[in-house]
Structure 1
């Protein structure tokens, strides 16, 4: 082999790129996390300034829509044979409610744990803390009202056949049998995954359906606890007279709530903020 043959090959494309353009490309690459952070922070600021009534009605609609996760799972289980692979298919039904809620831009509590907390982390003052608390409280109560209405409808309306209704109750009882510690631990990854989903949405334009489907399928497959979907299941258990509502709230609902908050706001939001806040300060 000659000396000339051993020379490294220069890519022709690189000859047409100036040093300034290379620096600009590197800057844009570094900005990606900051841009996503800023998009979500601006969304959070917009949510904090929305009228209370708008947030309330959107939250109720989200509670109604999210019940479709349980309903779709029940219909899929009814249609599938009792085999080892059945959960791999029926758990896709869990995504139905999330697709309805997130693509319709309705107010879901676990989304707000991320979008609302980023402005608070950026500017931790009395105004932002009170605003975040107000938003969380309004959305959570509205979601609970929506899932309660949905549970009453699916239990008493006859819209579901008796066999599908029995399957929905069977799915709900599985969640109700978890203890408080188990529910809390199962709620941590659910909160984290929903927060990761929110973080990915700005860079997933055109692929939102598949991103939502994938992450919510993971929640269902892992049997993680989501407080809003879980509330629809727990209300159905209470309406069926299987367990008392106050016991379900204390043993299942509140541990799921705290687990989702810590997993979403406490873990993911702080990690997301931590990776960009110094860069944001340098930029300012």
Structure 2
């Protein structure tokens, strides 16, 4: 699995940037669709006696996004942090690593924003008498209430689980194996409220668009007061959420999973040894 992860990381970092960009667009869109599923599952959840159950359900359905990423070979920034393994082995340069990260990060953002536009224009946020849009607004606002250190730490915890899910998926031999390997770690991070940079690229911009354009009828129907969402702004999102969460995602996935397992299985244990008698002689 460690070798498979490193080989995949090498292939990503040395592949054609345009391919990474296009696959990054799809990954941003798939994660956004996972959040669409999550929001739908949370409409009316505040009225449930067991709200923790609603969070667990939301996490399970959100996992659809990463399942699609894994099964289609899309490139997601958070899992691309595992390219640190190929850098640790000296198979790629820092320039190749950072170049791949930059291309995939921008593509993920554009893919997520594409889904923002589609969901907004489809009027999905009006569903359930504005309840769907209310979940978006309240979820996004909560994300901007964290301090820098807290947002960073939540990002660490999130991508630790995301990269664990991707790493575990390398053990799968069937589609069912991979789905099962991915689902529960992703459900855990969502249910616990950890922070995923690419998911936030969809949720917060959609909330900002709703806040800035919704008419009085929406606010009345949803039972919300626009003034309560004054903290929802692009500077707050980019500086107080996206920046620390992205840094946390790099540490949680690239270092705590990628480098840790590379150290255990590649550095400490060394490359797999050939069984006696199988060596090739000149």
TM-score of the pair, normalised by structure 1: 0.80
Aligned to 1:71: 36
Aligned to 1:280: 270
Q: Is the 8 A contact 1:196 1:268 kept in 2?
A: yes
**2:75 maps to 1:107:** yes
SS in 1 for 2:108: helix
Bigger radius of gyration, 1 or 2?
1
Give the distance between the partners of 1:75 and 1:152, measured in 2 at CA. Answer: 17
**TM-aligned CA distance change 1:205 to 1:164, over 3 Å:** same
**2:198 maps to 1:228:** yes
Q: Is the 8 A contact 2:70 2:166 kept in 1?
A: no
**TM-aligned CA distance change 1:282 to 1:63, over 3 Å:** closer
Q: Is the 8 A contact 2:58 2:190 kept in 1?
A: no
Match of 1:136 among 98, 101, 105: 101
Give the distance between the partners of 2:30 and 2:160, measured in 1 at CA. Answer: 22
Segment of structure 1 superposing worse, 128-137 or 270-279? 270-279
Aligned to 2:258: 269
Give the distance between the partners of 1:266 and 1:41, measured in 2 at CA. Answer: 13
Q: Is the 8 A contact 2:154 2:194 kept in 1?
A: yes
Segment of structure 1 superposing worse, 175-184 or 137-146? 175-184
SS in 1 for 2:170: helix
Paired residues in the alignment total 246
Structure 1 residue 225 displacement after superposition: 0.6
Structure 1 residue 283 displacement after superposition: 4.6
Unaligned runs of 5+ residues in structure 1 are 1-35
Segment of structure 1 superposing worse, 187-196 or 134-143? 187-196
Aligned to 1:49: 14
**2:90 maps to 1:123:** yes
Q: Is the 8 A contact 1:63 1:228 kept in 2?
A: yes
**2:134 maps to 1:145:** no
Aligned to 2:161: 193
1:125-154 deviation digits (Å, cap 9, x = unpaired): xx5211111101100111011112212222
**2:242 maps to 1:253:** yes
Structure 1 residue 58 displacement after superposition: 0.9
Root-mean-square deviation over aligned CA pairs:
2.0
Give the distance between the partners of 2:208 and 2:133, measured in 1 at CA. Answer: 14
Aligned to 2:222: none
**TM-aligned CA distance change 1:278 to 1:90, over 3 Å:** closer
1:147-194 deviation digits (Å, cap 9, x = unpaired): 122122222331442332222222222222222221111111111112
Aligned to 2:278: none
